[in-house]
Amino acid sequence: MLSKLVEALATDELAWQDYANCRGADADLFFPERGASTRRAKAICGECAVKMECLDFAVETGEKFGIWGGMSERERRKVRRQRQTAARRRTG
């Protein structure tokens, strides 16, 4: 789980990551143990200039773990469903 965040932050392909508030932060904050608070991670995301890019990345790649774009996997699933519904309506 942590390796995905470390890998993503180390990749030069995604320039938005260079501007992420989580860059250099303790990755454990973004991948908490089950039942642990996500408040600190979400607070870091809340002030991030590239929060939407991060969320888009996680939704588009189907990231199943951690806090991305200020959202948990459960929250991202809802966003994913909303986007799929909107896409179906457009092609309808």
pLDDT at 3 over 80: no
pLDDT at 15: 78
pLDDT at 67: 98
Under DSSP, the state recorded for 15 is G
Contact, 69 vs 55, CB < 8 A?
yes
Which range marks the domain in which residue 86 is found? 2-91
Tens of pLDDT, residue by residue over 36-85, are 999 999 999 999 999 999 999 999 999 999 999 999 999 999 999 999 99
pLDDT at 14: 55
Q: What are phi and psi of 68, to 5 degrees?
A: -135, 130
Q: How many Cβ atoms are within 10 Å of 54's Cβ, its own excluded?
A: 25
The pTM of this model reads 0.79
- Among 64, 42, 66, 56, smallest CA distance to 14 is for 56
The number of domains in the chain is 1
